């Protein structure tokens, strides 16, 4: 994050990506989420929804509620060419909601109430 935000060092998004990747490989849920975000957005590396999902799932397995929410969003919208799947989206929104993510609770409730 220091390189990403230029805290104490010159801002360098590519170095930030490199350090984030190292931390993600070592198992940091926050780093795994951030790496997923890099691939999801595609502003430092080429956008790749499959790699985003891969890293979000690793973070989500460690109960990272924002990664779980982002997975719900990807499957609900079909972002990045991923096959839209409301059932999978509901599962991720529910997990994220259970971990305290308010927006995930709203998305979950909306889908439950409007999918009949």
pTM comes to: 0.89
**Rounded distance, CA 69 to CA 17, Å?**
22
For the chain, the 3-state helix, strand and coil shares in percent, each to the nearest 5, are 70, 0, 30
**Rounded distance, CA 49 to CA 20, Å?**
18
- The pLDDT value given to residue 8: 57
Q: Model confidence over 8-64: pLDDT tens digits? A: 556 678 888 999 999 999 999 999 999 999 999 998 999 999 999 999 999 999 999
- The pLDDT value given to residue 13: 81
- The pLDDT value given to residue 3: 43
């Amino acid at each position: 994050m220091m390189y990403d935000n230029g805290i104490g060092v010159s801002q360098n998004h590519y170095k930030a990506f490199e350090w984030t990747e190292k931390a993600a490989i070592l198992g940091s849920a926050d780093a795994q989420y951030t790496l997923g975000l890099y691939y999801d957005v595609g502003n430092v590396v080429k956008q790749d929804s499959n790699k985003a999902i891969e890293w979000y799932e690793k973070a989500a397995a460690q109960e990272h509620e924002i990664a779980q929410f982002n997975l719900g969003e990807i499957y609900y919208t079909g972002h990045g060419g991923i096959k839209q799947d409301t059932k999978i989206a509901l599962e991720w929104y529910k997990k994220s909601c259970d971990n305290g993510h308010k927006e995930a609770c709203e998305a979950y409730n909306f889908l439950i109430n409007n999918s009949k």
